[in-house]
Amino acid sequence: MPFINDTEENTNGILNYCVEAKVHAVLCFGMGVTLRDGDRQYFYKKLDEHFPGMKERYIKKYGYSYVVGNDNNSKLMNIVNETCKKNGILTGPDKIFEYLQEFPDKSCTDQLSFF
């Protein structure tokens, strides 16, 4: 979230957990947050509770935009893409959805029975 956890350190920390957990893919459409009407009010209420003064900062910068982008998006996405590439983790929707299509059909028509 802009101004809160959009740092290289946090991004690297999350990615390190992904590498450690042997994550196969990371689907990330960019750094930031989307705020639908209704969600925005709840989000702003929680900002007031947990980060006093932050709501005003969001409103000043983003107004009532649906997409709340991140000024560090390019830099952080480069970290995501490079770390994933280095560790063999898929990125990008095309590659990930292509991989998902490779799953064998595991549906089974046989009913399990305890008797």
Same domain, 7 and 26: yes
Spatial separation of the C-alpha atoms in residues 32 and 11, rounded to whole Å = 12
pLDDT at 110 (0 to 100): 66
pLDDT at 108 exceeding the cut of 80: no
The total of structural domains in the chain comes to: 2
Distance CA 10, CA 8 (A): 6
> What is the domain extent for residue 59?
32-69
Residue 110 lies in a domain: no
In a domain, 106, yes or no: no
What backbone phi and psi angles, to 5 degrees, belong to 55?
Answer: -55, -45
Q: 24 and 80: one domain?
A: yes
Assigned domain for 61 exists: yes
The string of pLDDT tens digits covering residues 25-48 is 999 999 999 999 999 999 999 999
Q: pLDDT tier at 99 (50, 70, 90 boundaries)?
A: confident
* Residue 100: inside a domain: no
Do 36 and 65 share a domain, yes or no? yes
d(CA 115, CA 94): 45
